Structure 1
Amino acid sequence: MTSSFTCAIWLFWLFLICVIVHGQILDTTFDITENEPANIVLPNHQESLNDCHFRYYEFGKSSINKPAFGIPAYLREFAHMTAIGWSQPDKTTMWNCGGSLIWENFVLTAAHCTEDANNLPPDVVRLGDIDLFNDSDNQYAQQITIVEIIRHPEHRFSARYHDIALLRLERKVVFVIADPFLAHKPDKRISTGLHDTVAPACLWNNDEIRFNTLEATGWGDTGFAQSRTPTLLKVLLRPVDREECSEHYRNIRGLRAGLHDYQMCAGHALMDTCPGDSGGPLLVKLLHNTRVTPFIVAVTSFGSACGLSVPGVYVRVAPYIPWIQSVLKANGEDGTDWIFEPQACARKYVNLREYEPRVQLKNMGTQQQLDMTKAH
């Protein structure tokens, strides 16, 4: 069989997977009752099949290694995504974990990401950078020193529980405030030398996770016994029942009491998170008016050998929001309850969010709200 024919077959299967995955997404429906507000935050699950060629065919031709059918992310898609690094004596940096910017000077990650194999803490984070080893996309990257590591007080390195931590940064990130009516026209944006490739994500504060599909991102291994990717990749995962998931993690070291209710599982037959993705987000993108807001549902904690169809384990963020608020308040930040409400958080950085032109709006007085009869 010729290499060109093999490549064609490979790309055909990639395209078919794209159609299947996106087809499921396009079939997603929402049960909206008469009592629910018109400007409800909606899952941004409906994507056009027109991007299949771009996301699968073009990248399928490249030399980029991907986790089991991982999809390369594009600039601004995950503006909260943070690489967590350990500076080396030779002036290089080992980017061994991921995290999420949730405040202008705080990154959320996994507690086990606060020490490496030599018991050394990370000392730097990098944001606004898709390819960690390519200078071509460094124009808007921000690299900031970590000044404090705050692990959850109940976490122990000998166990896999309460695997969550906050990193306090030396300074707040910097970003540009763009004209909301020009957000979809990059050449018309208001710029101060930086770009809205960096923006905090929101936290999903509800114990109920009602989404059929979630996304995980990272620079981790590209598969079992494979090398790490220099390019940020995303995978589509589905929540897995905890009882079903527990069958895969019986007699696992550090899980003496089994999986707790503040842990959740997610997986996919072809996609998975891998070593190096730890600390990164499991998230859902929600639409608020014409803007896409990322909501962190959980933090990547641990799993079996990646890419083998075994669900990974994640730490849900909702049970830890009171702790996160207490840390923010202790550092002079406004961690009041209302700021963590979905609508309030979505509005806070609205001008830094991705513009979604496919959502049609109707005018409600001086406000624009989602027209539920026309929203994609």
Structure 2
Amino acid sequence: MKRKHLIRLGAGAGAVLGAAALAWAGTAANAQDNSADNDFGAQVIGGQPAEEGQYPWLVGLGSAGEGTPWERQFCGGSVISETVVLTAAHCVEGTEDAAELVVFSGSVDLESDAIVETAVSDFHIAADYNDPVAMANDWALLLLSEPVDVEPIALSAEPEEFDALETAGWGNTGEEYPVVAEWVEVPFVSDADCEAAYPGEVDAASMLCAGDLANGGVDSCQGDSGGPIMTPAGDEQILVGIVSWGYGCAEAGNPGVYGEVADFDEDIAAVLDEWGVLA
């Protein structure tokens, strides 16, 4: 079974051509269509539509140019300061110019009049991305051309402190690409169980797993890449991870794998300092 990057391959193309014909040629050139190799429904599996204001920091990453936000959005991200978005490295690897990228904020509904499109002026991909194993240190930062009026999410929670986490995004439902982001609660999976599920493919320092190991049924999936996995709803949610990869979607024994933000704190702070951004 082939590894599946959890990345959207272009909503507009998918709506017209169908999943088997997708071939995104923009910033996500490393992505692959696995519809012929894996039996899965590409979506936030087992979830429900997010309410406005539920995840104010959740943004869509898209391509600059013509088309609606729904047509151009291909990954997710999290606002960590008014001018910086944290996303997955595999969402932007292959990007030659920051001007290729835009961020959609202000609503969980990509067709809402409240959506704000903001240009990206610079980006940083983790220097140790894909080291020591493929997809390790799967994080990147986007510097926005102007501030967004969005509540940032705090960083640095140890995920093992929580029995369950929440993830959200605009992944394909298998029938259509949803206009409104969906969210789902996923059980935390220990490092030992994560490594047992994916022998030789997990870097426990920079990755965490979440999902129902025994039964499946809840997961992030293609289209959710770069988006957040967070502590449960409460007084202040904290970002613990970044949607990264997995085998299949919501399959028993194959949890979703996420970049573990606590491991990147110092490196993220260094980039923000270089950009002159207050953390």
TM-score using structure 1 length: 0.56
> 1:211-264: CA deviations, max 9, x gaps?
1111000001225xx54322100011011122222233236xxx3xx4332211
The one-letter amino acid paired with 1:266 is: A
Native 8 Å contact 2:118 2:144 kept in 1: yes
Per-residue deviation, 1:296: 0.2
Q: What's the secondary structure of 1:217's corresponding residue?
A: strand
Native 8 Å contact 2:169 2:227 kept in 1: yes
Counterpart in 1 of 2:137?
Answer: 162
Native 8 Å contact 1:109 1:164 kept in 2: yes
Counterpart in 2 of 1:306?
Answer: 249
Stretches of 4+ aligned residues off by more than 4 angstroms: 118-122
| Structure 1 unaligned residues grouped into runs of 5+ | 1-64, 175-197, 336-376
Q: What's the secondary structure of 1:330's corresponding residue?
A: helix
Taking the TM superposition and a 5 Å limit, the aligned residue runs for 1:266-345 are: 266-268=210-212, 269-285=216-232, 287=234, 292-309=235-252, 310-335=254-279
**Counterpart-to-counterpart distance in 2, 1:227 and 1:286:** 28
**Counterpart-to-counterpart distance in 2, 1:307 and 1:120:** 35
Counterpart in 2 of 1:85?
Answer: 62
The one-letter amino acid paired with 2:143 is: R
Per-residue deviation, 1:91: 3.8
**Counterpart-to-counterpart distance in 1, 2:106 and 2:160:** 28
- Structure in which a larger fraction of residues adopt helix: 1
> 1:187-216: CA deviations, max 9, x gaps?
xxxxxxxxxxx311111x244631111100
Counterpart in 1 of 2:171?
Answer: 220
**Counterpart-to-counterpart distance in 2, 1:273 and 1:111:** 17
Higher relative contact order (CA 8 A, sep 6+): 2
**Counterpart-to-counterpart distance in 1, 2:160 and 2:193:** 17
| Structure 2 unaligned residues grouped into runs of 5+ | 1-41
Query: RMSD of the TM alignment (CA)?
Result: 2.4
Q: What's the secondary structure of 1:83's corresponding residue?
A: strand
Native 8 Å contact 1:131 1:231 kept in 2: yes
- 1:145 is aligned to 2:119: yes
The equivalent position to 1:245 in structure 2, one of 171, 194, 212, is: 194
**Counterpart-to-counterpart distance in 2, 1:119 and 1:318:** 28
Aligned pair count reads 230
Counterpart in 1 of 2:161?
Answer: 210
Shift of the 246–156 alpha-carbon distance from structure 1 to 2, 3 Å rule, reads closer
The equivalent position to 1:173 in structure 2, one of 124, 137, 148, is: 148
Q: Which of structures 1 and 2 has the bigger CA Rg?
A: 1
**Counterpart-to-counterpart distance in 2, 1:126 and 1:119:** 20
Per-residue deviation, 1:286: 5.7
> 1:299-325: CA deviations, max 9, x gaps?
111011113232010111112111111
TM-score using structure 2 length: 0.75
